[in-house]
Amino acid sequence: MLKRGVTAAVICIVAVLMGIAFSESLEVQNSFIKIAISKGDVSNRTLSVSSGEGEYVSIVSGSYWLQARESEIYLAEGETKRVALFFNSSELLPGAYVSILTLNGEKNSSQIPVILEVQSRDLFFDANLEIPPQYTEIMPGKNILAQVKVFDLTSSGGTSKGLGVTPVRLEYEIKSIDGKIIASESEEITVNGQATVTKSIPMPSSLKSGDYVFSAASIYKSSIGTSTKLFRVSEPLQEKTEDAKDDKSFYSEPYFIILSGLFVLIIVLLFFTYFLRDRDKLLMELRKYNSLELRQQRAFLREQARMLYKKGVAKEAVKIELNEKIHIIKKKHKKRESVLKKMREKKADDKDMLKKLNQWKKEGYSTFNLEYKMKGLNDREMNSLMGKWKKEGFGRH
């Protein structure tokens, strides 16, 4: 009887898991959208939506400054469509705006964070905000840290000294993806060509898990430049345990406890049977980071290729170099994974494995625009490309 019960439970769990897997037919290519425009401008972006099954999808904007060309589309089985999105800053003041674009399918839905950076037209100073990899995901009650670099845009290196020593006010905001302000601070710094500030802002201990936006505005007279970064707040592990302890009915039904224990046991067995290779959280995190880095580098290399095409470099030669560099990136990722697997096999301490993982992240963070520079581009062109690419949302990955 016990064997039959276990078998029946396994069948039910597998059926549920398969149902969940097949029900998630709606897929969105963009994990988030970021765009920077000047006050009063109107711009557009496209969103790629696909479906494993035929279905109608409604598109709902969370803000008046963001509109989709179509409020509803139909996707045939396996079809991908590009949806036009329009951004209108005519009624907005310079600053960072955050909203949610919701896609409702017939079986599931998807929410996409949207960030709009509105800058003044007379822009003298601009900021570049970066969040170190170890702070891209934090716990409630911890500090979020960012490095802000402020640039005098009137300074061109050799031909112009710019505005010289100038006081610039920096205004920081932490916003949820529905646009609510969680925290805000400001300070005044002195800029002579450029200046770098490291800013740490404490997060409320009651903050819910989810995506949040760190924004920095550089303000000098009528000049306002904005820069943003997305980060995530994770749910504390003890929250669910405390909720379970507070629920006395959970302990008042012995039969329910037995079934829950049996269910957990079956899940664990299935996990170790079918997903043994992915049980290492650090290895999964490395794969996720490698995938993100590959998308970023691939997009950046393509931007370099376009610039080389404009300079008249032969397309065939550019394509060969581009493929070679992508191959090198993939080879480096495989080597990282092999190193981490060997450390796991040798039962290395988790702290050492985490240290190694963070080391790779920092290397990628610090050499992102230097390690894969294509032949034929000088430093000035690379700096121009990085500035343009940053304003377009880092490849809209």
Dmax of the chain from CA atoms? 87
Contact 233, 138 (CB under 8 A): yes
**Helices within 220-314 (DSSP H only):** 238-246, 254-274, 281-310
Q: Whole-model pTM?
A: 0.55
Residue 94 lies in a domain: no
Q: Taking the CA of residue 136 as centre, how many other CA atoms within 13 Å lie in the half-sphere pointing to its CB?
A: 14
CA distances from 82 to 50, 98, 107, 397 (A): 9, 22, 20, 15
Do 223 and 316 lie in one domain? The reply is no
Do 215 and 286 lie in one domain? The reply is no
- Give the residue from 200, 218, 236 where a domain finishes: 236
- pLDDT in the model for residue 352: 83
Q: How many domains does the chain have?
A: 2
Do 231 and 284 lie in one domain? The reply is no
Cα gap 215→291, rounded to integer Å: 25
Contact 44, 84 (CB under 8 A): yes
Do 131 and 232 lie in one domain? The reply is yes
Residue 127 lies in a domain: yes
Contact 228, 128 (CB under 8 A): no
- pLDDT in the model for residue 308: 85
Contacts of 312 (CB under 8 A, 6+ apart): none
> Residue 150 pairs with which residues in a beta bridge?
127, 195
Whose CA is closest to 297, among 384, 367, 213, 377? 367
Question: Mind listing the pLDDT tens digit of every residue in the chain (397 residues)?
Answer: 444 444 444 444 544 444 444 445 678 877 889 999 999 999 999 999 998 888 899 999 999 999 999 999 998 888 899 999 999 999 999 999 999 999 998 888 889 999 999 999 999 999 999 999 999 999 999 999 999 999 999 886 555 678 899 999 999 999 999 999 999 999 999 999 999 999 999 999 999 999 999 999 999 999 999 999 999 999 876 544 444 444 444 444 566 677 777 888 888 777 665 545 544 677 778 888 888 888 878 877 888 888 888 888 888 888 888 888 888 888 888 888 888 888 878 877 778 888 887 887 777 655 555 567 788 888 777 777 777 666 655 544 4
Instruction: Write out the DSSP string of 92-104.
Output: --SEEEEEEEEEE
Residue 341 lies in a domain: yes
Contacts 24+ apart (CB under 8 A), 345-350: 350/282
Question: What are the helix and strand counts (H, E) for the chain?
Answer: 7, 17
Query: Where in the sequence is the domain holding 181, given as residue range(s)?
Result: 120-236
- Other C-beta atoms lying within 10 Å of the C-beta of residue 299: 15
Do 285 and 194 lie in one domain? The reply is no
